[in-house]
């Protein structure tokens, strides 16, 4: 049972995530018994002891973490056990069903890593729930949408999350920056657009003036983390793009919030369009458009597909969020983003090496649905009556109302 003041809309997100996981695990739904094979449970138990690859294990964990997170978010600690059991049961059922799905493999290690991912997601929900606060920022749960987008970007950018203590690795990570620095206009534009989006998301979570201190520290922390992570390298475009984005953001502080957010959204819109249509070399003959959702994401390796999903969710979700914040209405922003992605996907039928399918437009709509189901700003503190609010909570509530008025959003003055 959800805690008072926490409506059960998280269950809708949980069900949506479960449907996506099941769809991706069982597509194309052509089930038949393998010739000469044993039963599914025997094959499942026979795989005990097989060690998974590191990338596959991390991908399985990332796949089930959102399920555990939203299953447990806003609920009591005891729900963590139920969430882990539900994630494990779902994974077990899918693993057994995959035995009859040609091209799929029944694996105990997948079941174990999926269950672990559910557990870690539940633990994250307990940490980022109503009781989690950041110094001078307050409840992180007050702005869950930009936090979710930032987490998806970090999960994509910092993969495979494995640090190294090898000094040669540190040098190899910095070698392209020191010995062979190169910077193209497109690379600089790409990194600037991404970092400008990241800064705008940080600004949505923190106070506007506080973002001037948080954003540079966040950028330095991410770049230093990449130096430590196995296989990651730092190229000149990354720090240059981060610095240029911060300089642009300082200029945008002179504008009202909605206008500056709109500028960032337009920059991101230009980058997403360029990303999808480059190198702008259209062929004379087009190919068939793909109407099956997520088909291209299920044809590669699991870790590559997971990273592609995280990147797309960050880009398209950020576009929906920033446009919605600039317009004051999320539905037109979601429909516009979906229409743009559908149009560019259709144009990709004339581009070589592109998937050209409905998936990207659908992901924008899914992101909009998730944002609509998440609690609005200030919901996290609405469970307490005014008499029980601490001075810090009252200050946070008043600041949220001031931000809402600045954005042109109606606030509940009777709360």
Task: Give me the domain span that covers residue 1.
Answer: 1-127
Residue 29 lies in a domain: yes
Residue 11 lies in a domain: yes
40 three-class SS: helix
Burial class (CB in 10 A: 0-12, 13-18, 19+), 358: buried
Q: Please determine, for residue 389, whether its predicted confidence score (pLDDT) is greater than 50.
A: no
Residue 67 lies in a domain: yes
312 vs 374, more confident: 312
Residue 240 lies in a domain: no
274 vs 283, more confident: 274
Residue 92 lies in a domain: yes
Residue 28 lies in a domain: yes
pLDDT score, position 394? 57
Residue 414 lies in a domain: no
Rounded to 5 degrees, φ, ψ at 385 are -70, 160
Residue 33 lies in a domain: yes
What is the average pLDDT score of the chain? 80
Tell me the per-residue pLDDT of 55-80, one tens digit each, with 9 for 90 and over: 778 878 888 988 888 888 766 666 78
C-beta of residue 72 within 8 angstroms of C-beta of residue 122: yes
pLDDT bin (cut points 50, 70, 90) of residue 400 is low
Return the beta strands (E) in 254-358 as ranges. none
Q: What is the CA radius of gyration of the chain?
A: 23
Tell me the per-residue pLDDT of 228-267, one tens digit each, with 9 for 90 and over: 887 788 889 999 999 999 999 999 999 998 999 999 999 9
pLDDT score, position 6? 43
In this prediction the pTM is 0.71
d(CA 86, CA 240): 45
How many domains, in total, are found in the chain?
1
**DSSP letter string, 195-221:** HHHHHHHHHHHS-HHHHHHHHHHHHHH
């Amino acid at each position: 049972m959800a805690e008072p003041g926490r409506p059960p809309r998280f269950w809708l997100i949980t069900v949506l995530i479960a449907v996506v996981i099941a769809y991706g695990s069982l597509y194309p739904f052509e089930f038949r018994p393998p010739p000469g094979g044993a039963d599914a449970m025997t094959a499942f138990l026979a795989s005990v002891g097989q060690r998974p690859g590191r990338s596959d294990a991390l991908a399985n964990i990332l796949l089930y973490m959102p399920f555990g997170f939203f299953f447990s978010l806003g609920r009591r600690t005891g729900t963590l056990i139920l969430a882990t059991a539900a994630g494990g049961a779902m994974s077990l059922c899918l693993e057994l069903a995959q035995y009859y799905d040609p091209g799929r493999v029944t694996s105990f290690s997948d079941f174990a890593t999926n269950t672990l991912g559910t557990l870690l997601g539940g633990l994250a929900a307990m940490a980022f729930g109503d009781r989690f606060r950041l110094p001078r920022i307050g409840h992180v749960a007050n702005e869950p949408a930009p936090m979710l987008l930032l987490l998806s970007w970090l999960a994509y950018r910092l993969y495979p999350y494995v640090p190294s203590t090898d000094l040669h690795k540190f040098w190899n990570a910095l070698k392209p920056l020191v010995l062979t620095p190169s910077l193209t206009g497109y690379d600089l534009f790409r990194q600037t657009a991404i970092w400008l989006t990241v800064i705008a998301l940080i600004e949505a979570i923190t106070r506007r003036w506080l973002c001037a201190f948080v954003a540079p520290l966040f950028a330095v922390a991410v770049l230093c983390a990449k130096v430590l992570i196995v296989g990651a390298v730092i190229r000149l475009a990354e720090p240059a793009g981060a610095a240029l984005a911060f300089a642009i953001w300082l200029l945008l502080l002179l504008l009202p919030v909605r206008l500056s957010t709109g500028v960032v959204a337009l920059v991101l819109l230009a980058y997403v369009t360029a990303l999808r249509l480059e190198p702008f070399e259209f062929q004379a003959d087009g190919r068939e458009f793909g109407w099956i959702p997520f088909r291209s994401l299920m044809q590669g390796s699991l870790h590559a597909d997971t990273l592609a999903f995280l990147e797309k969710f960050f880009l398209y979700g950020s576009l929906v969020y920033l446009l919605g914040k600039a317009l004051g209405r999320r539905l037109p922003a979601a429909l516009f983003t979906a229409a743009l992605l559908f149009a560019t996907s259709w144009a990709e039928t004339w581009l070589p090496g592109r998937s050209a399918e409905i998936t990207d437009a659908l992901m924008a709509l899914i992101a909009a649905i998730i944002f609509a189901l998440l609690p609005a700003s200030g919901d996290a503190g609405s469970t307490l009556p005014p008499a029980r609010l601490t001075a810090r909570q009252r200050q946070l509530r008043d600041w949220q109302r001031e931000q809402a008025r600045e954005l042109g959003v109606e606030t509940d003055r009777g709360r």
